Structure 1
Amino acid sequence: MMDVPSSNQSHPPCQPWAVQNGWSSDTPAGPLCNPLPHLQQLSLGSASNQNPSCNHLQASGHYSKSRIAAFSTRTNPHHRVQHVSNDDHSVQQSVPDAHVLSRAPPTGQERNIPPCSLPYMNEETQHFNPQEMPHYSPPNPYQAVDPSFCSQHTYRSLLNQPQSPAHNHLPASPSRVDPQLNYSQQPAYDAVNLGSFVGYNEAPASPRAPIQQQPLWSVAAISKGSINTAALDHNLTPQSSNADSRYGLNPELLPSAVKVMAEDRAEWEGKSFISEHFSRLPPLPTTPCVVEDGGNVSPLAIRSVTYCVPCDGLTALLSRLPLGALVTPFSKQIACEKPIPLCRDTDCVLGCRFCGAAMCPAMGWQDCGQRFYCPFCGKFSEVPWQQYQPTKGVEGVRVDKDKRPELSMGSYEILNSEKGEPAALLLAMDVSSSALRGGHLEFVAQQIQTLLASLNREGHPSSDIRVGLMTYDSRIHLYDLSPELSRPRMLVITETEDLQLPMREGLLVSLKDCKESIDSVLQLIPRFSAECGDSSGPPIELPVKAGLAVLQGLKCPGKLVIFHTASLIETGHTNSSSGFFGTNKPKSIFQPSEKAISLAKECISQGCGVHMFVLSQQDVGGAWPGHIPYLTGGALHTYSYLQGELDRECFSTDLQRIAELDTGYKAELRIFVSKDLRVSGCYGLFVPGSNPGHITMATLDWRTTLAVELAHSKALDETRGAAIQVVLSYTSQTGERRIRVHTLTLRCSRHLQDTFRNYQAETLLTFYCKKMYCAVLERPLQELREELQTDVTEALASYRKHCCSSSVSAGQLVLPQFLRALPVYVNSLRKSEVLLPGLRSSVHQRLQQRCRVLGLDTCCTVRHFYPLLLPLLPSVDSSSPPNREGALRCTGSSLESRGLYLVHAPFSVLLWVGTQVPACTLVELFNASCFSSLPSGETNLPALESRLSLSVRSLISSLNSEVPYSRKLVVVKQGDTCEEALQRHLVEDKSPNGGASYADFLYHLHINSEVRPMQEGGVFGYVVSLRLCALCPPEGVIE
């Protein structure tokens, strides 16, 4: 396997690697089966300019100096972009935008270097002594080995090893770029470029393709001259970093996710996306854009994995990529967008009476509007005479289409006539002996008072909310808050096994009527004495059962907010289905107990969302209390005894967000798809049922996102396309029962290339994340990591086989245009703490991270796996304040010792300070006189009036408003021990938990995509030679 787990996993120990360059200092015991070639065999040309004579030269792998010189006179020493037209086969050349990061040495300096002998290094590095290199014998690529033994795991297992945090050094400065390099055009027949850098090519479309082919971004073969052979000179010393590749790849030249996002922002800047019938590719989820509903749902509500569905299952299987959609049914519109139209149920045209699908623009009208065709079941339904309207035109459009949102809009909402009970807010406080000794009950009570005061102000939408209060230790204390009473009454329940409420009236009272009563109780709670408290504390299920009983007794949904301080213990026996006792299922730490699932189901049926604040830290031992909150649409918030001011600020912010968050209760989600498709799976934070197309949830908010997987049952009609409808039925805060309908129509195609060209890497990342994080409940982590790599490898091999032109050589990696960033995303997902635990990641932290990530929407998911790295100091030629437009790649080489950098992720925000930051900058931002006096760790920036301080604090505040949880700013000083927290976010580098770097992962994807067909007996019917190459991306497109 590619990533080697850390030492806290039960896997056989691996051979340790050398500290400096990542290679073993011991000679291997025997020859290895390694299909990686020597550099003599690397492909030397670019994809679109090779002719047979050049291919013959490449195949030989040996050149005399005279022949090299002869070719060098005809070739340009710089790379170029070529585009070959399908029509006239003319070659168009353009000057690339990106900078060249290293110059090639003269051709006379070329050497035959085994790819596994030296790490890649820049030409202007330090000196080294060749005698100090480890004695490693590279395998012979020509050695005859049994093909069955040459599996991809043989060489994939050598890719990475766990690293000690002490050995992860962030580079002091990035690679320098020469922006003045000149680029000249070159005739198309110059196929071999021995003195060039990397050949970047826009591969031509295949003349055999029945449709116009998408631009194909191919990673061309690197020539011998482009491998930096200056490292072999005795005057140089190797310098390694976490981003260095073992196979001679320059990480700065690989496809950049940052550039993909920047290009998409530039394309949609100042524009609006109109979601019309058979919608085209929308903007990326990280691109802010106004969406206009033109008859198709907004991508904020339903984002299809591909916007061109393959017509049959065979074509879908051939793509090796999933088919599905990301559903955010309760999504909200931005300020400048029109709100979702609302209509009454008595005024709406009824939907299909056979399958239950709601009326939408995808319905086809016939017989002058007397009946309509349902694409979700393929049947015709009659229209009631009260709702009949004639049709017009050849398309059979009803004359009242523009007046009815259900006929013209991709999203609309129906207000039911029946009204239910409004939602309530129930607060539960732990008053056990440990909580009383903790000393922070007074702070919690003050924060609750502040919260209720903000909700009670005039004009607030939650001013009429019903509020209840209870406390608990080993018993339950309920409070009668009836306004008729002169003071509140406390009711004590000692029988907690079978809870029976002594009364119902007065437990939940309107906030404006009970504000004074609650304040008086909150003032007395810190004075409680532990009369009969158990030292072990109450179980975590006790307040959940008590709060649920209150809501059930009053027959209303609501939010249950628990403030728990005692030790985390769990009552009852361990679940037999958890994989540890009495079952053959794989053992998993992520599986909740049967008791937790049962209690969560009761909360779901009542519409009770549990939010838990744990005020003690207990990562070792004890039960994890987060299963019930996350399965009911709530969340778990943990604090270390509220010791510092930062913890208290986060507590206050999180509590305020929970109370003010717009929430849907007792939610029921139904998913309809075209009659020739079916819902094969649904992944997210919910208790799964027997039907993946029917989901029930206790609560949901605008970030709740599910991944829906689809499969073919029959071949789709290319003329009708495909349709997906999501019908959400929920209860609002005021008790209104509403139905929100989202409908997405997609076009279909029989051509595989149409499917590939309509995938987006960010959507695939979110889909894979939700699917894999749900699969950890039942499957081993190593199997999931290998499945991710296999899926991407087979997809690239299939794209290469079926969608590339014949001019693409065996030594090139080819990526679809909108999947350029997929390898770096998938690698970041593979080496996340959930799938690959690190040395310092506890079980509770991994459980928390899994549930938090599963609850993220698409934009935040992308930011989690590829954080935003922003320089805070203006460059020499710019005086603009720091902003998110100048993002850098998430690698240590992007950090300069003279700079300040902000790392933004959904759950953390870090500020990295270089050792050579000017003293005046430290004074302006931190009010610190020098680097040594600057404290590191969690902190608050001082409120200074300098321009830098104002801009940085404004930027951090803006970023904090976009994430679902409060965060503490962490200052990371260069060379400090807390740099490991930053290294986890530099996803393009090798991770502290042993995850592979982006460069190494991309190299192995390329190797596997070419070698796999031969190992599997030609599954794709594709056979290539082993003239493999070091990888670099198409210039002008990727870098």
Structure 2
Amino acid sequence: VSQVPRRLFQPTGGVEGTRVDKDRRPELSLGSYEILHSEKHAPAALLLAVDVSPAALRGGHVEFVTHQIHTLLSSLKQDADVRVGLLTYDSRVHLYDLSPDLSRPHMMVVTETEDLQLPVREGLLVSLRDCAESLDSVLQLLPEFGADGDDSDDVPLELPVRAGLAVLQGLKCPGKLLIFHSAALIETGNTNSSSGFFGTSKPKSIFQPSEEAVSLAKDCVSQGCGVHLFILSQQDVGGAWPGHIPYLTGGALYTYSYLQGDLDRERFGADLKQVVATDTGYKAELRVFVSKDLRVSGCYGLFVPGPSPAHVTMATLDRRTTLAVELTHTRALDETRGAAIQAVLSYSSQTGEKRSRVHTLTLRSSRHLQDTFRNYQAQTLLAFYCKKMYCSASERPLQELREELQTEVTEALACYRKHGCSSSASAGQLVLPQFLRALPVYINSLRKSEVLLPGLRSSVHQRLQQRCQVLSLDTCSTVRHFYPLLLPLTLPVARSNPQKPEGALRCSAASLEPSGLYLIHAPLTLLLWVGSQVPACTLGELFNTSCFSSLPSGEVKLPALENSLSVGVRSLLSTLTSQVPFARKLLVVKQGDTCEEALQRHLVEDKSPNGGASYADFLYHLHINSVRLLQ
């Protein structure tokens, strides 16, 4: 007989035997709660890695980056307890001892980069309060670096990742690693990633990271190191895509193409500020438990897959991190008990607190298909299929994925026609479930997206980047990506609430009038279409020019003019930008311009430039095929 400690004994009361302490214990009374553990982990650090190769020095990127870092750290002084570290690299790694006891910072050069060993550990990560002056002095000297080492501009991107990871491992703490890279992108070691896509018979291989990238990402996950990569150079066509490690560790890839113009510089500053300011959890573990006769058959998102889809480990996560979980049942579920799902997320906070967040959900089950169709949500299904198909793109042919999407929707419509709708519906009558009426247009947009159906003008790097960016979106943002918001920019709409845009139009060329201005808003795109017959007074109020032919197209910044239209449109743009996780540039497209293809890709109800079917054609094929299934 085992002895039960007194503190674990709790009496029960009533006929049902309910514990009397139920209201005082969250796990007995709440569906969602968070547990603060007594154990304390090391607080997270902020580690900055700056490329000082000859290419970075010649291009002036080092001077720009150090100025931006100085501005960032000045704004962080109110949070002076955060630990900060700095390293620079070319073909070697330069570490900096920022100990406040030193009269000036010490630089240590590590030339053996294959098996990187830290010469010291003390002083590599110091609280901002104690090292602000030392850090500023180092940042001021970095642009004056001489290329006294290897003159080669080729710097493997894995070098700063390994160096930053070694610092965090040596000091046994998690953190964010921000890498500012300017050298040409090269790959090292054997790889089956995007660099070898020419002449291959396996188009799926372009989405597969190299074995070295996966191995390095796993090490980052174990340490809780989230990599954020800022690329300041132009990516070479057919070269290495540098985004696998950042996205697999909860970070992201930011590209700027040599920081051309003030718009790129503003976007860089906004991205840098958002990365540092985002509240982040480290060394996260997600476990999903389900009731009897259910099992977790898949989990889709940006993470390094493990042996079990019910157990996911992540280096970092934030409030925007989204995963899709697929459940399958082995036999008929008990209608009286329903299905129980519990998700337990364990992580450490910025200050090192160990927390576990628990969500428990019980869902009703039914053997009647009518009940199932009544509880469908087209938006949720789109987000699920998007994550599943985009994750499967690294293992399966894209044509097979597009066909599977069409088959799934066709079978759902056939099932509803057979079991859920009135028997009086004729074969020529299109029948859609009430809550799935938007699903065909969503799925068609997903099928013809550039990730699954590449166009002539879409590069491999653009597709890889878009795939990871869309995988990181939540449900609402995913819907907005595949069906953008199309707003006519008249004065009433500019003054309206962008949360509930009353004037939103269907995403079709038929919605555009030559005399109008239209804004297309999606998480990755902000586009302003200008009709050729827009009144000169309207052009003057918004662009400060009265001539359509002299209106610049491409990336622009609207002038700050003191009139109702200009103020309303700029306020609308600011509000919409605050709702997305990416800093975007406004792209102006004039009617009849050669760059109008950028608009056509977002008019998802029409036939796409990459050959994707229009919504009307896709819906017709769905209807015909669903009727044939029942014959």
TM-score bracket for this pair, using the shorter chain length: over 0.9
Q: Which residue of 2 aligns with 1:507?
A: 124
3-state secondary structure, aligned to 1:959: helix
Q: Which residue of 2 aligns with 1:245?
A: none
Q: Deviations over 1:475-518 (max 9, x none)?
A: 00000000001110000000000001000000000011101111
3-state secondary structure, aligned to 1:766: helix
Q: Which residue of 2 aligns with 1:541?
A: 158
Q: Which residue of 2 aligns with 1:186?
A: none
Q: How many Å apart are 1:387 and its aligned residue?
A: 4.5
Q: How many Å apart are 1:403 and its aligned residue?
A: 3.4
Q: Which residue of 2 aligns with 1:408?
A: 29
Q: Which residue of 2 aligns with 1:628?
A: 245
Among 441, 448, 459, the alignment partner of 2:62 is 441
Contact kept, 8 Å, 1:579 with 1:587, in 2: the verdict is no
Contact kept, 8 Å, 1:671 with 1:694, in 2: the verdict is yes
Q: Which residue of 2 aligns with 1:741?
A: 358
Q: How many Å apart are 1:580 and its aligned residue?
A: 8.3
Q: Which residue of 2 aligns with 1:773?
A: 390
Among 259, 263, 283, the alignment partner of 1:646 is 263
Alpha-carbon spacing, 1:393–1:937, altered in 2? closer, same or farther (3 Å): farther
Distance in 2, Cα, partners of 1:407 & 1:893 = 56
Distance in 2, Cα, partners of 1:932 & 1:577 = 41
RMSD across aligned positions (CA):
2.1
Alpha-carbon spacing, 1:577–1:514, altered in 2? closer, same or farther (3 Å): closer
Distance in 2, Cα, partners of 1:950 & 1:978 = 27
**AA aligned opposite 1:421:** A
3-state secondary structure, aligned to 2:570: helix
Q: Which residue of 2 aligns with 1:663?
A: 280
Q: Give TM-score, length-normalised by structure 2.
A: 0.96
3-state secondary structure, aligned to 1:531: coil
Among 317, 334, 338, the alignment partner of 1:717 is 334
Matches within 5 A, 1:226-375: none
The yes-or-no answer on 1:999 pairing with 2:616 is yes
Alpha-carbon spacing, 1:830–1:803, altered in 2? closer, same or farther (3 Å): same
The yes-or-no answer on 1:701 pairing with 2:346 is no
Alpha-carbon spacing, 1:694–1:1010, altered in 2? closer, same or farther (3 Å): same
3-state secondary structure, aligned to 1:687: coil
Q: Which residue of 2 aligns with 1:427?
A: 48
Among 514, 519, 523, the alignment partner of 1:906 is 523
Distance in 1, Cα, partners of 2:608 & 2:8 = 62
Q: How many Å apart are 1:717 and its aligned residue?
A: 1.6
Distance in 1, Cα, partners of 2:14 & 2:487 = 55
Q: Which residue of 2 aligns with 1:789?
A: 406
Q: Give TM-score, length-normalised by structure 1.
A: 0.59
Alpha-carbon spacing, 1:991–1:586, altered in 2? closer, same or farther (3 Å): closer
Q: How many Å apart are 1:803 and its aligned residue?
A: 1.3
Q: Which residue of 2 aligns with 1:806?
A: 423
3-state secondary structure, aligned to 2:207: coil
Distance in 2, Cα, partners of 1:542 & 1:805 = 64
3-state secondary structure, aligned to 2:315: strand
3-state secondary structure, aligned to 2:205: coil
Q: Deviations over 1:238-293 (max 9, x none)?
A: xxxxxxxxxxxxxxxxxxxxxxxxxxxxxxxxxxxxxxxxxxxxxxxxxxxxxxxx
Q: How many Å apart are 1:972 and its aligned residue?
A: 1.1
Q: How many Å apart are 1:715 and its aligned residue?
A: 2.7
The yes-or-no answer on 1:730 pairing with 2:347 is yes
Aligned residues: 626
Q: Deviations over 1:516-549 (max 9, x none)?
A: 1111000000011111234342101000000000
Contact kept, 8 Å, 2:194 with 2:240, in 1: the verdict is no
Contact kept, 8 Å, 2:345 with 2:358, in 1: the verdict is yes
Alpha-carbon spacing, 1:619–1:788, altered in 2? closer, same or farther (3 Å): farther
Q: Which residue of 1 aligns with 2:293?
A: 676
3-state secondary structure, aligned to 2:589: strand
Question: Which contiguous aligned blocks of 4+ residues in structure 1 show a shift greater than 6 angstroms?
Answer: 576-581, 583-586
Alpha-carbon spacing, 1:721–1:392, altered in 2? closer, same or farther (3 Å): farther
Alpha-carbon spacing, 1:413–1:818, altered in 2? closer, same or farther (3 Å): same
Q: How many Å apart are 1:900 and its aligned residue?
A: 1.1
Q: Deviations over 1:875-915 (max 9, x none)?
A: 7xx99547423211111111111111111110110111111
Q: How many Å apart are 1:723 and its aligned residue?
A: 1.1
3-state secondary structure, aligned to 1:813: coil
Q: How many Å apart are 1:389 and its aligned residue?
A: 4.2
Distance in 2, Cα, partners of 1:739 & 1:435 = 43
Alpha-carbon spacing, 1:616–1:577, altered in 2? closer, same or farther (3 Å): closer
**AA aligned opposite 1:485:** L
Larger Rg, first or second structure (1 or 2): 1
Contact kept, 8 Å, 1:470 with 1:476, in 2: the verdict is yes
Among 482, 486, 489, the alignment partner of 1:872 is 489
Q: Which residue of 1 aligns with 2:138?
A: 521
Distance in 2, Cα, partners of 1:787 & 1:697 = 29
Q: Which residue of 1 aligns with 2:469?
A: 852
Distance in 2, Cα, partners of 1:407 & 1:383 = 20
3-state secondary structure, aligned to 1:597: helix
**Structure 2, unaligned runs of 5 or more:** none
Contact kept, 8 Å, 1:619 with 1:844, in 2: the verdict is no
**AA aligned opposite 1:412:** Y
Q: Which residue of 1 aligns with 2:552?
A: 935
**AA aligned opposite 2:41:** G
Distance in 1, Cα, partners of 2:399 & 2:76 = 48
Q: Which residue of 2 aligns with 1:219?
A: none
Among 362, 368, 376, the alignment partner of 1:759 is 376
3-state secondary structure, aligned to 2:627: helix
The yes-or-no answer on 1:488 pairing with 2:105 is yes
**AA aligned opposite 2:86:** L
Q: How many Å apart are 1:425 and its aligned residue?
A: 0.4
Among 447, 454, 477, the alignment partner of 2:75 is 454
3-state secondary structure, aligned to 2:557: coil
Q: How many Å apart are 1:676 and its aligned residue?
A: 1.4
Distance in 2, Cα, partners of 1:940 & 1:957 = 12
Alpha-carbon spacing, 1:1007–1:387, altered in 2? closer, same or farther (3 Å): same
The yes-or-no answer on 1:964 pairing with 2:581 is yes
Distance in 1, Cα, partners of 2:27 & 2:421 = 42
Contact kept, 8 Å, 1:578 with 1:591, in 2: the verdict is no
Distance in 2, Cα, partners of 1:783 & 1:978 = 31
Q: How many Å apart are 1:968 and its aligned residue?
A: 0.3
**AA aligned opposite 1:483:** P
Q: State which drifts further: 559-568 or 704-713.
A: 704-713
Distance in 1, Cα, partners of 2:298 & 2:467 = 19
The yes-or-no answer on 1:567 pairing with 2:188 is no
3-state secondary structure, aligned to 1:709: strand
Distance in 1, Cα, partners of 2:15 & 2:76 = 55
**AA aligned opposite 1:940:** K
Q: How many Å apart are 1:386 and its aligned residue?
A: 2.4
**AA aligned opposite 2:266:** E
The yes-or-no answer on 1:894 pairing with 2:511 is yes
Contact kept, 8 Å, 1:689 with 1:695, in 2: the verdict is yes
Greater RCO, 1 or 2 (C-alpha within 8 Å, sep 6+): 1
Q: State which drifts further: 499-508 or 892-901.
A: 892-901
Q: How many Å apart are 1:605 and its aligned residue?
A: 0.3
